[in-house]
Amino acid sequence: MSAEPLVVQDVSKVFTSRRRGPDGRRLKVHAVDGVSFEIAPGAAVGLVGASGSGKSTVAGMVTAALRPTSGSVRFGDVDVTALRGDALRRYHGDVQMVFQDPYGALNPLHTVRYTLSRPLENLLGLDARQADDRVRELLDTVGLTPPEQFAPKLPHQLSGGQRQRVVIARALACEPGLIVADEPVSMLDVSLRAGVLRLLARLRQERGLSLLYITHDLLSARVVTDEILVLSEGKVVERGVTKDVLQNPSHPYTERLLDAVPNPYAGAET
Ligand SMILES: Nc1ncnc2c1ncn2[C@@H]1O[C@H](COP(=O)(O)OP(=O)(O)O)[C@@H](O)[C@H]1O
Ligand SMILES: [Mg+2]
């Protein structure tokens, strides 16, 4: 799969809550309100905002897990909001998610080899031998070397950072054009974060895949993205080249996100 342009145009998402307001009607939550952006093939865009700003809802609409209330999402020629059946399954191979929690993303009873070879056999139709070779390559690519040491391991025998590398390897197994990484390092030990982010940055460069990197941590966006959008209460309040926005934030909300913590990623920027 080669990367295609992702075009998100004026998407909004209104959730109807179970709770009722004083007038007895169900409350509506405007989670995302008129968001537009594009990711060119091979580009990396960051979506940054505080908790509850609508980031995961945007991710859900991009990955076709959620249907926008209005607006459109296109990936190349594909109208993502209208996908069904086989076309939806194909799209779920082209666009892969990496979530915050690598512990929850992996089946505790499956070895690394099994986790990675399943999509290769089921989706790409490789035989066991071919899948085994490919598992070795994938482990090598994500820095779990030597591969034969990691392939037989179970998730609990790995560190959080190693588990997230397995999740990234699984995402790569289907040769996606776009990876959507929703807070991929937030649950990892601070000392492991830069390594996993540098891995995402390198994969993007080497494989020419596109990346939507979602975070509440503005500084981490510097490691992986060229461009960022700052989201507040479902709306884009600032956007631009990552370096420029970080150096010279024009919105007070962006300044607040950039609080005075020391930069744990110093030296990791690409
Ligand atoms: N399925 C849902 N039903 C109702 N409200 C939701 C649902 N999912 C998210 N929300 C609300 O939408 C807003 C944005 O949530 P989310 O996209 O998860 O934010 P973020 O990922 O930036 O933390 C929040 O107010 C959240 O409570
Ligand atoms: Mg979220």
pLDDT in 10s for each residue of the chain, 270 residues: 567 999 999 999 999 988 888 898 888 999 999 999 999 999 999 999 999 999 999 999 999 999 999 999 999 999 999 999 999 989 998 999 999 988 889 999 999 999 999 989 988 889 999 999 999 999 999 999 999 999 999 999 999 999 999 999 999 998 999 999 999 999 888 888 999 999 999 999 999 999 999 999 999 999 999 999 999 999 999 999 999 999 988 888 888 887 745 566 766 665
Q: Are the CB atoms for 8 and 36 separated by under 8 Å?
A: yes
In sequence order, what are the residues at sequence separation of 6 or more whose Cβ sits closer than 8 angstroms to the Cβ of residue 67? 61, 81
203 near 141, Cβ under 8 Å?
A: yes
pLDDT value of residue 2: 64
Report if residue 135 sits inside a domain. no
Distance 54 CA to ligand 2 centre (A): 7
* 257 CA from centroid of ligand 1 (Å): 19
Question: Given this model, what pLDDT does residue 267 score?
Answer: 67
* Domain-embedded: residue 129: no
Burial class of residue 152 in the structure, from the number of CB atoms within 10 Å of its CB (0-12 exposed, 13-18 middle, 19+ buried): exposed
Structural domain contains residue 226? yes
Query: What pLDDT shows up at residue 257?
Result: 81
11 lies in some domain: yes
Task: Count Cβ atoms below 10 Å from residue 53 Cβ, excluding itself.
Answer: 23
Q: Is residue 198 part of a domain?
A: yes
How many distinct structural domains can be found in the chain? 1
Q: How far apart are alpha carbons 38 and 49 in whole angstroms?
A: 18
Give me the CATH number covering residue 88. Answer: 3.40.50.300
> Is residue 132 a part of any domain in this protein?
no
60 Cβ closer than 6 Å to some ligand 1 atom: no
Which atom of ligand 1 has the smallest separation from the CA of 57?
A: 17
| Residue 58 to residue 65: CA distance in whole angstroms | 10
Task: State in Å: Cα 23 to ligand 2 middle.
Answer: 30
Residue 102 lies in a domain: yes
pLDDT (0 to 100) of residue 195: 92
Q: Are 154 and 163 in contact (CB under 8 A)?
A: no
The confidence score (pLDDT) of residue 70 equals 98
Handedness of CA 162, 166, 171, 172 (dihedral sign): positive
Q: Show the beta-strand stretches assigned E in 21-91.
A: 26-39, 44-48, 70-75, 78-79
Alpha-carbon distance of 127 to 129, in angstroms, equals 6
Q: Which domain holds residue 193?
A: 6-109+154-257
The verdict on residue 213 lying in a domain is yes
